[in-house]
Amino acid sequence: MNTEQVLDIEHRLMSPGVSQETQLADVVFERGEGSYLFDIEGRSYLDFGAGIFTQNVGHNHPHVVNEVKQQVDKLWNVHDGSTEARAKACVALHKHLPDELSRVAFFTTGAEAVEAAIRAVFSGAPPQKQKLAALRYGFHGKTQGARSLVHWDIGYSNESGNSVLGYAANCYRCPLGRTYPSCDMQCAQLVNRHISSKPNIAALFFEPVQGAAGVIVPPQEYWSMITQVCKDNGVLLVADEVVSAGGRTGRFLASQHYGIEPDLVVGAKGLSSGFPFSMLAGTEALMGQGEFAGAGATSSTFGGNPMSCTAAYATLEVLDNEQVLESVEAKGKRLGGGLRDLMHEHEVIGDVRGIGLLWALEFVSCRKNKTPAPDIAAQFYQACMKAGVRVCLGGNIVRIGPPLNVSDADIDKALAVFDQCLQTIAS
Ligand SMILES: Cc1ncc(COP(=O)(O)O)c(C=O)c1O
């Protein structure tokens, strides 16, 4: 089939709610290799979205391909059964996870693992603690339980019914109208006031660095302030690291940057090179309590299947064997520095922020008023695709996150394309 034929079928037969990126790009992808994607017509694209932050070691890494190919000849699924692949995934994760998080359970999507985290919390929560808490603009998935933690207008927000504890530290658009550092971290203080005044909260679900909201990287003290008050008030810490687990921010978990000691951690995207795999890691006490320790509590049809587990342990082996995490900070500085240079040149960029290899450009039509400009962001996205660089688009924000083993040369190449595209859309 050619591009037109594929798109014609998809437009006629698929439900229309595909991503904005898909709606705006008439591209049919065929294969990937390292930091590059290739479309069905043979055009190449530097993938600075790494799938959707899934391809931490790039597309089709030879070691992952090799392990998956061997597994494909052996066994694909046997309901929740013990396999060597699953045992290897356990070991590979334990090598990187904090010692306290000694138990893992495997699922297929981020939302499914968030749901499992909710079940784990409630299986031991005392009767007076029956509420979950989350931060405004956090994203935790689109299933019903996960949606109950999402308090903003992406997707359907009408299911959100639980406590909202306040704000992440979005310093560019401070919801309290303050400026860092003279603000005294009022956003964190507000969260803490809620936590200490509401005895019914069992757990706080949070992204250490909010991803979908546009890479909101809090100042260092934000999390130390909040986590201490949670601990003092018996509120469990559930870190949703669906985007960040696996080294996206430069440490295996983003929590490690902030000294957060979560009771539960959810990971998914970057752990398995694009195969459907997610994990819930937790303390012995939490994972082994009440109903959550009962037969079948963590099993599902595809959870922990040997294909996904193989992709996961092989991906983590690449991280180790090629010392991928060691260079993320330096590469992030190169990318972030380049993006900040672009901000000096181009008025339409209102803010540049990021950590490790997770970055965001926020597009505005007026810098002074910070007027969001989703139309300019969409133009930028389309221009980049035309010029052969793929980024992730959401509203007026473009997120940029190449594979963690991207070369310096490809970072420079992408930055040059961004510059060119910004010039084109300005003219
Ligand atoms: C922080 C976070 N949690 C949960 C999810 C849901 O993951 P999934 O789409 O695999 O269900 C996402 C998805 O982007 C996410 O960014």
CATH class of 66-321: alpha beta
Measure 409 CA to ligand 1 centroid, in angstroms: 30
Q: Position 249: which residue type?
A: T
Q: Check if the beta carbon of residue 197 is closer than 8 Å to that of residue 133.
A: no
Nearest residue to 228 via CA among 207, 198, 204, 253: 204
Nearest residue to 273 via CA among 327, 303, 214, 318: 318
- CB 265 less than 6 A from any atom of ligand 1: no
Upstream peptide bond of 181 is cis (omega within 30 degrees of 0): yes
Residue nearest to atom 5 of ligand 1 (CA): 141
| Residue 163: per-residue pLDDT | 56
Measure 242 CA to ligand 1 centroid, in angstroms: 6
Q: Measure the CA–CA gap between 367 and 91, rounded to whole angstroms.
A: 49
Q: Tens digit of pLDDT for each residue in 264-285?
A: 999 999 999 999 999 999 999 9
Which of 140, 154, 216 best tests ligand 1's pocket when mutated (most atoms within 8 Å of CB)?
A: 140
Contacts of residue 35, Cβ cutoff 8 Å, sequence gap at least 6: 46, 47, 58, 59, 402, 403, 405, 406, 407, 410
Which of 242, 264, 275, 358 best tests ligand 1's pocket when mutated (most atoms within 8 Å of CB)?
A: 242
- CB 211 less than 6 A from any atom of ligand 1: yes
Measure 411 CA to ligand 1 centroid, in angstroms: 26
- CB 384 less than 6 A from any atom of ligand 1: no
| Residue 150: per-residue pLDDT | 84
- CB 339 less than 6 A from any atom of ligand 1: no
- CB 373 less than 6 A from any atom of ligand 1: no
Question: What are the domain boundaries of the chain?
Answer: 3-56+325-426, 66-321
- CB 207 less than 6 A from any atom of ligand 1: yes
Q: Measure the CA–CA gap between 320 and 268, rounded to whole angstroms.
A: 18
- CB 401 less than 6 A from any atom of ligand 1: no
- CB 303 less than 6 A from any atom of ligand 1: no
Over residues 385-408, mean pLDDT = 98
Over residues 117-137, mean pLDDT = 93
Residue nearest to atom 4 of ligand 1 (CA): 140
End-to-end CA distance of the chain: 37
| Residue 58: per-residue pLDDT | 98
- CB 109 less than 6 A from any atom of ligand 1: yes
Measure 272 CA to ligand 1 centroid, in angstroms: 14
Mean pLDDT taken over the chain: 95
CATH class of 3-56+325-426: alpha beta
Shortest-distance atom of ligand 1 to CA 244:
1
Q: Tens digit of pLDDT for each residue in 180-237?
A: 999 999 999 999 999 999 899 999 999 999 999 999 999 999 999 999 999 999 999 9
Question: Does residue 164 surpass a pLDDT of 90?
Answer: no
| Residue 144: per-residue pLDDT | 87
Q: Measure the CA–CA gap between 390 and 385, rounded to whole angstroms.
A: 5
Which of 243, 278, 279, 302 best tests ligand 1's pocket when mutated (most atoms within 8 Å of CB)?
A: 243
